[in-house]
Structure 1
Amino acid sequence: MGLGKPVRRVLFSVVGGALVIVGVVLLVLPGPGLLLVLAGLLVLASEFPALRRFVGPVRTRAMQAAEDSVSSPLRIGGSVLAGLALLAAGIVWGTVRSLPFSGWSTGTSLILSSLILFALVIWSYLRVRAKQEVSGKP
């Protein structure tokens, strides 16, 4: 039983840190960067209470970014195209052996990234739509 707390802390640190790092990378690449940074901070804050003060501001910015990402059909279309490109790249990297870092480990990570992007676009769209229905705006 004494080993459980340190193992949990290391596990949460690794997972939270990875989410924050991937989120920061996705701030400059197409993807849900702020939402992943927020997820990482939430995981880390569960083990490191001092980080809780950063959760509120990042949550506010992440929710605004999520709303902005589905604010027009053009932005939704761009996100869907980015997701389809990631999906196609994953299939190509999984099947074409002559590419750098080829194989299903790379292909699977790209496909998983596309699925996460699709899920977040759908979630953002439904969230914005529900917010508009509550406020009475079209």
Structure 2
Amino acid sequence: MTADAPRKSRPVRRIVLEVVGWLLLLAGAAAIFLPGPGLLLVVAGLAVLSKQYEWAERRLEPVKVMAFKSAADGVQTWPRIIASCAGALALAAIGVYWGIRPPAPDWWPLRDSWWLIGGWGTGATLILSSVIALGFIVYSFRRFRGIPDPEAAAERAAREDD
């Protein structure tokens, strides 16, 4: 089997995984530039595609290790935990503000219709990103807080997740 050849699986399952993986990857790439959980969607897309393609699996592994290391590092001190929680809550507040869509301020240089484009659709993705971030903070706290060697624990967690 070549490096990029699909692994053997049932045709319908393979097609569904293929479509879902590429949609997640494309949505994640778009959400990197638009409000939303872009990196999370990219990783999810790679995770789905890694079931079919070795190239996706190779690209996913270092991302998982780096993500677990960042998660472990982020909960080692209370200032980091508080800052992360504050950032996630600020993101939710921005999502609510975006959804409410107050009138454009006087300093806004474009037409008023360009102020906070997307309304509740965009606001909801920001709120969802906040909820996901808070969930990851809780997960990281429970998994990595108080561990003597958080970096080694993160590497083990990335390998166990396979």
Same fold flag (TM > 0.5): yes
Give, in angstroms, the shift of residue 38 of structure 1: 3.8
- Residue 111 of structure 1 is aligned with which of 127, 130, 139? 127
Give, in angstroms, the shift of residue 40 of structure 1: 3.2
Moved over 6 A (4+): 1-4
Residue 60 (str. 1) matches residue 65 (str. 2):
yes
Distance 1:22 1:131, change over 3 A: farther
Higher helix residue share: 1
**Which blocks of at least 5 consecutive residues in structure 1 are unaligned?**
133-138
CA distance in 1, matches of 2:73, 2:38: 12
Residues 96 and 102 of structure 1 are in contact (CA less than 8 Å); yes or no, is this contact kept in structure 2? no
Give, in angstroms, the shift of residue 103 of structure 1: 1.2
Residues 22-56 of structure 1, C-alpha deviations (whole Å, 9 max, x = no match): 78x49xxxx895x6554332122112233222233
Q: Taking every aligned residue pair, what percent have the same amino acid on both sides?
A: 33
CA distance in 1, matches of 2:38, 2:140: 10
Q: CA RMSD in A?
A: 3.0
Query: Could you say which residue in structure 1 is the equivalent of 2:93?
Result: 88
Query: Could you say which residue in structure 2 is the equivalent of 1:6?
Result: 15
Residues 17 and 49 of structure 2 are in contact (CA less than 8 Å); yes or no, is this contact kept in structure 1? no
Determine which structure has greater relative contact order: mean sequence separation of CA pairs < 8 Å that are 6+ residues apart, divided by chain length: 2
